[in-house]
């Protein structure tokens, strides 16, 4: 799978249905930053996250053949309702060299929401 195709796929948190394309590069470990604005990170953790959109996202990645600890590192972050932290969280995920950062649509325009 090409990087652009992968980014296009995971840039939407609506990856909840059965998808047919399996992971292609066995040697590559992808790092995905996942930001949720309010939910505590503890509700986003593990293979069965308590937070429904995160659970759907993790299941969608699994259906594509991406498994945490094997070919995927999922960096979960939460602002826990403190929106002023979003810039620092994004900077941290960029510093970690995330292949893609997934956020709710609202956060994609956080600069306008926060101001």
Whether the CB-CB separation of 49 and 34 falls below 8 Å is answered with no
Distance between CA atoms of residues 52 and 103, nearest Å? 14
Strands 100-102 and 30-36: parallel
> Is residue 81 in a domain?
yes
> Is residue 22 in a domain?
no
To the nearest whole number, what is the mean pLDDT of the chain?
76
Closest alpha carbon to 92 in 107, 78, 71, 112: 78
Half-sphere exposure at residue 19, Cβ-oriented, CA atoms within 13 angstroms: 21
At 22-57, the pLDDT tens digits run: 545 558 999 999 998 888 888 787 888 888 888 888
3-state secondary structure of 49: coil
> Is residue 80 in a domain?
yes
User: What's the number of domains the chain is made of?
Assistant: 1
At 15-29, the pLDDT tens digits run: 433 334 454 555 899
User: What domain range includes position 34?
Assistant: 3-7+29-114
Higher pLDDT, 87 or 2: 87
């Amino acid at each position: 799978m090409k990087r652009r195709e992968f980014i296009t796929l995971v840039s939407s948190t609506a990856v909840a249905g059965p998808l047919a394309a399996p992971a292609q590069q066995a040697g590559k470990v992808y790092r995905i930053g996942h930001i949720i604005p309010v939910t505590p990170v503890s509700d986003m953790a593990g293979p069965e996250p308590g937070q429904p959109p995160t659970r759907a996202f993790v299941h969608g990645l699994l259906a594509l053949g991406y498994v945490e600890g094997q070919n995927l590192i999922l960096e979960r972050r939460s602002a826990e309702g403190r929106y002023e932290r979003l810039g620092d969280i994004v900077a941290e995920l960029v510093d970690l060299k995330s292949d893609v950062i997934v956020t709710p649509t609202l956060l994609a325009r956080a600069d306008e929401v926060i101001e």
